Structure 1
Amino acid sequence: MTTFDINQYRITEEPFYQAQVNEVALYEAAYAARLPVMLKGPTGCGKSRFVEHMAWKLGKPLITVACNEDMTASDLVGRYLLDANGTRWIDGPLTLAARYGAICYLDEVVEARQDTTVVIHPLTDHRRNLPLDKKGELVTAHPDFQLVISYNPGYQSLMKDLKQSTKQRFAAMEFDYASADVEAGIVEKETGVDAGLAAQLVRIAVTARNLKGHGLDEGISTRLLVYAATLIKQGIPAADACRMALVRPITDDADIRDTLDHAIDAIFG
């Protein structure tokens, strides 16, 4: 039987993360107590990068699951598979993290069906175990195991939200887009563009975020600003790069698109 190597999930190089307030200290305290943590905030504001940075800083393996509406409980905990010798059990990512002592990060957990998320409950209270009903095994969580989930509360409907019975099992941290100067510094660091260009890109993002709730479901994320700066570094004219990376991904509404295009022309025209 092949021994599973959890070290393949270790992050070997420091992921860049610019702290905004005291989130690093808060997370370190939560991890020290092995509290489950919920990260709340808009799309592309740095939640996933933060988890990667903290896993690197703490020296712990990180297993990330991108949740979706088709995900089943078996996708998380594991299943029996047929092979040449009959059937064998394959641990899912949640089971691997619990068994071997990794941080398990369920990204956009609200996208998963509510009956799927129930399987995390025994891992998020005093029991710290995971029943594998199909296998007849009870996995006791490794001392280093921690569960982290993220979601975007501003993007959820009443029909698609976490149950209170799930929410109240987590300590929660709120994230938002950084202040303009900090966000410009992030774009500059991530892409190598000059500070002036980074600041101009952030001005466009601020314009779009002010339209949230007035025709836009989501504003321009920090991630998209990095994309725009990357295109500019590739030699694409700034206005074209901004339309491609900042405007076209977030809206199909002609009026909103024209408003943002005008803002781009005012800055880069």
Structure 2
Amino acid sequence: MNNYQLPDQISHLLEENKKREQQEFRDLIREGGYVPPENELLVDAVTALSMGKNVLLKGPTGSGKTRFAETLSHLFSQPMFSVNCSVDLDAESLLGFKTLAYQDEKQVIEFVPGPVTNAMNHGTFLYIDEINMAKPETLPLINGVLDYRRTITNPFTEEIITAKDGFGVVAAINEGYVGTVPLNEALKNRFVVIDIPYLQGEQLNQLIKDNTRLEDDRIIDLFVRLSGDLIQAVSQGKLSEDAASIRALLDACDLSVLIPPKRAILRSIIDKLDEDREKDFVLNLTETLFG
């Protein structure tokens, strides 16, 4: 089995975290750009990766799954090759493609590696974003990459590729999102699942301070309250998940440094919604909080 060698600093902090919550651990996490709602989420993801397991980050759109993956990459000091899944994803998008090139003024055929083969050959992370957007017949191509074999036969070169030490897979999924399909059991069983909730309260407050230009504590508190109201409305079925995207909220915070917060929310959140009733709902919340 392919196991990671955890950096000594992380190994020590993980061990200490079993005994008590460590501010030092959270500071190290913050350097990677994402502080999870609970330390255990990141501890469990790091533990799974260090044991050679694949990690599937599951959560609503804009909840920070990609930032979570980037933080894992940061903690392991591992570069990360990425796959952005869509219905157009094919073998070439995953593994690479052949192209014409010149060597010593002679035309030759070269193979350009894709993100999967690059990550395997370099022993780094592979991040598969929105994995359930891909067609069900595409992802079985990499089943051997995702199980204990860590091996694939490249259909374009017939080369058998075995991942180097350090290779690991992190994937993200938005369940029930438009254009997605359920993961088949064979694929899902190749992952350890980490459920990522929205950031709220003090953690969201700190995220805004760390990742936007907004410095006015009063306005930041209002944005945190707005986010909480949006998340509650989503849970009650009054709004789609897009309305509560943390990514969109951070955009609104940034814009509010130079334009009125209500207009910033209009551009970053409200105008992205499809239904007039949802737009009116968010607009009413905005008017109530920001006046």
Question: TM-score, normalization: structure 1?
Answer: 0.88
Q: Is the 8 A contact 2:144 2:150 kept in 1?
A: yes
- Which runs of at least 4 in structure 1 moved beyond 6 Å after TM superposition? none
> Structure 2: 5+ residue runs without aligned partners?
1-29
Q: 1:18 aligns with which of 19, 35, 47?
A: 35
> Deviations along 1:1-56, whole A, 9 cap, x unmatched?
xxxxxxxxxxxx94321132112211221121110111100111111111111111
Q: Is the 8 A contact 1:185 1:195 kept in 2?
A: no
1:148 aligns with: 170
1:216 aligns with: 240
Superposition deviation, residue 156 in structure 1: 5.9
2:146 aligns with: 124
Matched, 1:63 2:81: yes
Q: Is the 8 A contact 1:204 1:264 kept in 2?
A: yes
The whole-number CA distance in structure 1 between the counterparts of 2:255 and 2:228 is: 20
2:271 aligns with: 248
> Deviations along 1:111-133, whole A, 9 cap, x unmatched?
11112111221012121112102
Q: Which one is further off, 204-213 or 30-39?
A: 204-213
2:137 aligns with: 115
Equivalence map 1:1-269=2 (5 Å): 14-21=31-38, 22-84=40-102, 85-155=107-177, 160-193=181-214, 194-212=216-234, 213-233=237-257, 235-249=258-272, 251-269=273-291
Q: How many residue pairs end up in the alignment?
A: 254
Q: Which one is further off, 13-22 or 256-265?
A: 13-22
Q: Is the 8 A contact 1:185 1:198 kept in 2?
A: no
Q: What secondary structure is seen at the aligned counterpart in 1 of 2:250?
A: helix
> Deviations along 1:219-263, whole A, 9 cap, x unmatched?
321111110010011x101111111112111x1222221121111
The whole-number CA distance in structure 2 between the counterparts of 1:165 and 1:59 is: 30
Q: Which one is further off, 78-87 or 204-213?
A: 204-213
Q: What secondary structure is seen at the aligned counterpart in 2 of 1:114?
A: coil
The whole-number CA distance in structure 2 between the counterparts of 1:153 and 1:78 is: 28
1:6 aligns with: none
The whole-number CA distance in structure 1 between the counterparts of 2:86 and 2:31 is: 28
Q: Which one is further off, 99-108 or 123-132?
A: 123-132
> Deviations along 1:186-230, whole A, 9 cap, x unmatched?
112211423321221122223333333335253321111110010
The whole-number CA distance in structure 2 between the counterparts of 1:229 and 1:218 is: 16
Q: What secondary structure is seen at the aligned counterpart in 1 of 2:52?
A: coil
Q: Which one is further off, 33-42 or 191-200?
A: 191-200
Aligned residues: CA RMSD: 1.8
Q: Is the 8 A contact 2:80 2:125 kept in 1?
A: yes
Q: Is the 8 A contact 2:56 2:191 kept in 1?
A: yes
1:32 maps to amino acid? S
Over the matched positions of the two proteins, sequence identity in percent amounts to 26
The whole-number CA distance in structure 2 between the counterparts of 1:179 and 1:262 is: 21
> Deviations along 1:121-151, whole A, 9 cap, x unmatched?
1012121112102211110111110011101
Q: What secondary structure is seen at the aligned counterpart in 2 of 1:48?
A: helix
The whole-number CA distance in structure 2 between the counterparts of 1:20 and 1:31 is: 20
1:8 aligns with: none
Superposition deviation, residue 174 in structure 1: 0.5
The whole-number CA distance in structure 2 between the counterparts of 1:170 and 1:40 is: 11
> Structure 1: 5+ residue runs without aligned partners?
1-12
